[in-house]
A and B are shown apart, each in its own frame.
Chain A
Amino acid sequence: NAGVMQNPRHLVRRRGQEARLRCSPMKGHSHVYWYRQLPEEGLKFMVYLQKENIIDESGMPKERFSAEFPKEGPSILRIQQVVRGDSAAYFCASSAGIGNQPQHFGDGTRLSIL
């Protein structure tokens, strides 16, 4: 399967813990986007990364959230000191390049905060 791979599929954390979500883009894709989806809502952009660079983080909360896409390995979305409001589905998408290339999504990580 050469699609976008996200893990874990489900993640349960207690308030105050850290959550780490991983995303491996499609083969040949070097652009990664993270989106958040609250129940019964559309997806909201969080951050856009290329290898070793954050291109646009305008949708990311200023505190507790960070993202990276290292030279080797998957992209990581990290949420520190989680709160109940962080409960959502987090989706990663990848594309082949700039210029409005199609974005292909993984099946997401469903984060639940107890």
Chain B
Amino acid sequence: GENVEQHPSTLSVQEGDSAVIKCTYSDSASNYFPWYKQELGKGPQLIIDIRSNVGEKKDQRIAVTLNKTAKHFSLHITETQPEDSAVYFCAASSETSGSRLTFGEGTQLTVNP
């Protein structure tokens, strides 16, 4: 089955700096890669996703890149703000696996004012 690894597990940055979170996956059939933000006591919130036919996608301060050959994808947050502080999860799925998501272990991002 699919295995997703995520690094780093914790990340602390100064407000205004960029933050990068990286994930690798094992199943070459995976073709959909969402990123979720989870705040304390809440459910995961979808913030951006990318499909395997695209190498990069941007939405304001958030961007995701995908390298299919190397089987890794990354989340980039620019101009970080204290409200970006949360746990971020990457995930992967394939249509052959019924679209179930396999999650990374999460990254606790802290943005210091």
8 Å CB interface, B8-41 against A: 31-32, 34, 36, 41
Instruction: Given A56-B98, A105-B43, check contact A100 B103 (CB 8 Å).
Output: no
Instruction: Given A98-B95, A101-B99, check contact A43 B46 (CB 8 Å).
Output: no
- A59 pairs with B100, CB closer than 8 A: yes
Report the count of interface residues on A (CB-CB < 8 A): 28
State in angstroms the CA–CA spacing of A33 and B34 once bound together: 15
Residues of chain A within 8 A of B46, CB atoms compared: 102-105
- B43 pairs with A106, CB closer than 8 A: yes
Neighbour of B49 across the interface among A45, A55, A102, CB < 8 A: A102
Q: Looking at chain B, what size class is its interface with the partner chain?
A: 20 to 34
- B31 pairs with A100, CB closer than 8 A: yes
Instruction: Given A105-B45, A108-B43, check contact A42 B89 (CB 8 Å).
Output: yes
Closest residue on chain A to residue B6 by CB atoms: A42
Residues of chain B within 8 A of A108, CB atoms compared: 42-43
- B99 pairs with A43, CB closer than 8 A: no
Neighbour of A42 across the interface among B31, B43, B93, B104, CB < 8 A: B104
Neighbour of A43 across the interface among B31, B41, B42, B44, CB < 8 A: B44
